[in-house]
């Protein structure tokens, strides 16, 4: 039964990464704050703000300029948008915020900047009712995971799939160095390794079933 469950999980894994950056057509149609955010043009954003432009204007996918800045790794634009009163916790149509976009992109500097500018590490994001930490753990982005932990991300939030960040690092990971480092960071910060999934299977049991010896050793150590 466990082997069947794991097969289904792995087949579903790509759907978890459901973020949609601006398309070529979106970029071609951008003006104002969205264009300035994509181009990391902080001066233009400040001029627009002084002229009364809405820093939280939405494109057809519900993206604000802040979301566009996150997708483009436009740090100075994001800072200017925050100075202009932009909502750092806005969610686009797929329910992603700046922090989760940066976490999925493995952009530690943007993650730290978003936290500095007021993006909440405990914000519930995505159709999976997850967090930026869960998204980063799923992908093995261990430096991002460490920065989110330092920023106060909830370690044991359970999404609507029944998974914590620790669980996702195991069941959606590959057992390699990046996911092992992610598990190490989570366990070291105090993540609860006893939280099982909806079928009562623990992260350790999943790690053992998948042959992730290094991760299993870390999880065993957390229970001692």
Q: Is the pLDDT of residue 23 over 80?
A: yes
The residue among 12 and 202 whose pLDDT is bigger is 202
Q: State the number of CA atoms in the 13 A half-sphere of 27 facing the CB.
A: 12
Residues 108 and 110: their CA atoms lie apart, in Å, by 5
Q: State the number of CA atoms in the 13 A half-sphere of 144 facing the CB.
A: 28
Residues 95 and 6: their CA atoms lie apart, in Å, by 27
Q: Is the pLDDT of residue 1 over 70?
A: no
Do the beta carbons of residue 148 and residue 116 sit within 8 Å?
Answer: no
Residues 129 and 144: their CA atoms lie apart, in Å, by 19
Q: Is the pLDDT of residue 8 over 60?
A: no
pTM: 0.92
Q: What is the pLDDT of residue 207?
A: 98
Q: What is the pLDDT of residue 223?
A: 67
Which is it for the CA torsion 214, 220, 223, 224, positive or negative? negative
189-193 contacts, C-beta under 8 A, 24 or more apart: 189/149, 189/155, 190/155, 191/155, 191/156, 191/164, 191/165, 191/166, 192/155, 192/156, 192/164, 192/166, 193/166, 193/219, 193/222, 193/223
Residues 104 and 98: their CA atoms lie apart, in Å, by 10
The domain covering 95-224 belongs, at the CATH homologous superfamily level, to Ankyrin repeat-containing domain (1.25.40.20)
Q: What is the pLDDT of residue 18?
A: 73
Residues 101 and 70: their CA atoms lie apart, in Å, by 6
Model confidence over 46-55: pLDDT tens digits?
A: 999 999 999 9
Q: CATH 1.25.40.20 in the chain: give the residue spans.
A: 21-93, 95-224
- For 3, the 3-state DSSP assignment is helix
Model confidence over 119-162: pLDDT tens digits?
A: 999 999 999 999 999 999 999 999 999 999 999 999 999 999 99
Do the beta carbons of residue 200 and residue 212 sit within 8 Å?
Answer: no
The mean pLDDT of the chain is 93
Q: What is the pLDDT of residue 173?
A: 98
Model confidence over 100-120: pLDDT tens digits?
A: 999 999 999 999 999 999 999
Q: CATH: 1.25.40.20, 1.20.1440.130, 3.40.1260.10, 3.40.50.1820. Which one for 21-93? A: 1.25.40.20
Q: What percent of the chain has pLDDT over 70?
A: 92
User: Any idea of the CA torsion for 169, 186, 200, 206, to the nearest 10 degrees?
Assistant: 40
33: confidence class by pLDDT, cuts 50, 70, 90: very high
Residues 141 and 206: their CA atoms lie apart, in Å, by 20
């Amino acid at each position: 039964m466990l082997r069947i469950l794991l097969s289904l999980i792995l087949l579903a894994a790509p759907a978890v990464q459901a973020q949609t950056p601006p398309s070529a057509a979106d970029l071609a149609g951008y003006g104002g704050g969205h264009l300035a955010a994509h181009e990391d043009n902080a001066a233009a954003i400040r001029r627009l703000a002084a002229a009364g432009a809405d820093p939280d204007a939405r494109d057809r996918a519900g993206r604000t300029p802040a979301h566009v800045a996150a997708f483009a790794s436009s740090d100075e634009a994001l800072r200017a948008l925050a100075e202009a009163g932009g909502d750092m916790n806005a969610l686009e149509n797929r329910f992603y915020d700046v922090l989760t976009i940066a976490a999925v992109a493995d952009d530690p500097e943007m993650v730290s900047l978003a936290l500095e500018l007021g993006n909440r590490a405990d914000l519930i994001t995505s159709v999976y009712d997850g967090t930026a930490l869960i998204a980063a753990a799923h992908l093995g982005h261990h430096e991002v995971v460490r920065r989110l932990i330092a920023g106060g991300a909830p370690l044991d939030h359970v999404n609507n799939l029944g998974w914590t960040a620790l669980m996702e690092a195991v069941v959606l990971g590959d057992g390699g160095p990046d996911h092992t480092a992610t598990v190490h960071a989570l366990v070291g910060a105090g993540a609860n390794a006893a939280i099982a999934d909806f079928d009562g299977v623990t992260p350790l049991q999943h790690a053992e079933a998948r042959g992730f010896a290094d991760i299993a050793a870390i999880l065993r150590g957390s229970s001692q």
